[in-house]
Amino acid sequence: MTAVWKDILRNVQLIQYIAPIAVDAALLEGVLMRTKDDPNASDVVNYAPFTLLPSPVPHSLLEQAYSVQQDFNLLVDKVSQNTEFLERTLASTIKVDDFTAQLFKIYRQVLDEGITQSVFLGINRSDYMFDCGPEGTPALKQIEINTIAASFGGLASRTTAVHRHVLNVLGKSTEASKLLTNIPSKGIATGIAKAWELYGSHRAVVMFLVEEAQRNIFDQRCVENELWMRNIRVIRRRFKDVYDKGSLDNDKRLYIDGEEIAVVYYREGYVPKNYNKQNWEARLLLERSRAVKCPDIATQLAGTKKVQQELSRPGILEKLLPGKPEAVTRLRATFTGLYSLEMGEEGDKIIAMAIAEPDRFVLKPQREGGGNNLYGEELKKVLETIKDSPERTSYILMDKIKPPPALNYLLRANSPLKISECVSELGIFGVYVRQNHDLVMNEHVGHLLRTKAVEHADGGVAAGVAVLDNPYVI
Is residue 295 reached through a cis peptide bond, with omega within 30 degrees of 0 on the bond before it? yes
Q: What is the mean pLDDT of the chain?
A: 95
Over residues 205-221, the pLDDT tens digits come to 999 999 999 999 999 99
Residue 284 predicted with pLDDT over 90: yes
Percent helix, strand, coil in the chain (nearest 5)?
45, 25, 30
Task: From the candidates 29, 144, 175, 211, give the one annotated as an active-site residue.
Answer: 144
| pLDDT recorded at residue 358 | 93
> What global pTM score does this model have?
0.95
Looking at the chain, the whole-number percentage of residues with pLDDT higher than 90 is 91
Give the span between the Cα atoms of 27 and 130, in whole angstroms: 30
Q: If DSSP states are collapsed to H, E and C, what string results for 383-429?
A: HHHHCCCHHHHHEEEEECCCCCCEEEEEECCCCCCCEEEEEEEEEEE
Asked which of 186-200, 378-392, 436-450 is least confident by mean pLDDT, the reply is: 378-392
Do strands 234-237 and 246-248 pair parallel, antiparallel, or not at all (unpaired)?
Answer: unpaired
- Determine whether the annotation assigns residue 224 to a binding site: no
Q: Is pLDDT of 2 > 60?
A: no
Respond yes or no: is residue 203 known to be catalytic: no
pLDDT tier at 367 (50, 70, 90 boundaries)?
A: confident
The domain limits of the chain are: 3-336+401-473, 338-400
Catalytic residue among 290, 293, 305, 434: 305
Task: Say if residue 36 carries a ligand binding annotation.
Answer: no
Catalytic residue among 337, 369, 376, 464: 369
Is 177 annotated to bind a ligand? Reply is no
Catalytic, 144? Answer: yes
pLDDT number for residue 370: 66
- The SS3 assignment for 119 reads strand
Q: Which of 256, 326, 309 is nearest to 286 (CA)?
A: 256
Domain 338-400: state its class. alpha beta
